[in-house]
Amino acid sequence: MPQNSKKLNMVQAINLALKEEMQRDKDVVILGEDVGRDGGVFRVTEGLLELFGEQRVIDTPLAESGIVGVAIGMAAYGLKPIAEIQFMGFIYSAIDQIFSHASRIRNRTRGRFTCPLVIRIPYGAGIKAPDLHSESTEALFCHMPGVKVVVPSSPYNAKGLLISSIRDPDPVIFLESTRLYRLIKEEVPEGEYTIPLGRARIVQEGRDVTIIAWGSMLHRAIQAVEGFDAEVIDLMTLVPFDEEAIFKSVKKTGRVVIIHEAPKTCGFGAEISATISEDAMLYLKAPIIRVAGYDVVMPLPKLEDYYMPTEGRIRKAMEEVMKY
């Protein structure tokens, strides 16, 4: 059980989870571009090369497909690799490896082999980065059977969710908001604790409207709901997502606003909306509204703030559902 805690940001909390899991399990290895000597592009793996050596913290060439392909082979061999991709916009060349191999090993071998692989990917807007550095295309991975998708929203749950992801027997896409990396600090216990995958958390209870968000958008939602009797749900895991928590809230409020920074069309909000419509429609008092990024290529830094869901857009959506 955890004994002590420190105020950490998300970078430090993830680093702590990696260090503790590598100390606990000799089969956990890290690989990616600059993860060793430089400690990763965001310094998440800083200090781990010195602690565990170059056999377990491996700098790779600039080749995302190769990084993920090698990690899949390691996982099939029995190791527990954690691959870091520097930005979400760089992952696309590795999607074939994930979709065609990592996601299918359990099914392909009739359960004789699994793929205990974590792919950590910084995602999203908020740091005014150049092209391909601010993508939020999580729905691509949510559409791949056999893959879990996790998105922490705070240092505490980042550590607990990452430990659960490392110990999961199947591939996990672990998405880390670049905007949140150093934005907030909170108490994070030293020592082992886990947060189950597939469970949401109720951040704030309310009676009039359910707000569903994840990652960095959770914090914008919390700022926007002031003055509303809103129930705020942090989904934390997108696949599998916590239907029970959502249905329970919908039955209470009858109104739903879903917030994500990915483009609206075919974003994961559409899947949540469809699920509510199929299984809880009779509890709805108003149409479900999604507040999302626009259906455009992620803009460069000067236009980034116009693209992201704002507190004003979220409040307008809540005012709209409250008319019913």
**pLDDT tens-digit profile of 195-230?**
999 999 999 999 999 999 999 999 999 999 999 999
**pLDDT tens-digit profile of 119-170?**
999 999 988 888 888 989 999 999 999 999 999 999 999 999 999 999 999 9
**pLDDT tens-digit profile of 216-266?**
999 999 999 999 999 999 999 999 999 999 999 999 999 999 999 999 999
Residue 133 bears catalytic tag: yes
Residue 2: its pLDDT value, please? Answer: 56
CA distance 263 to 151: 17
Catalytic residue of the set 133, 143, 219, 260: 133
**Dihedral pair phi/psi, residue 259, rounded to 5°:** -125, 125
The alpha carbon dihedral of 51, 54, 56, 57 has a sign of: positive
CA distance 106 to 113: 6
Q: Collapsing DSSP states into helix, strand and coil, what is residue 131?
A: coil
Residue 178: its pLDDT value, please? Answer: 96
Residue 128: its pLDDT value, please? Answer: 85
- Rounded to two decimals, what is the model's pTM? 0.96
Q: Which domains does the chain have, with CATH numbers?
A: 3-187 (3.40.50.970), 199-321 (3.40.50.920)
Residue 129: its pLDDT value, please? Answer: 86
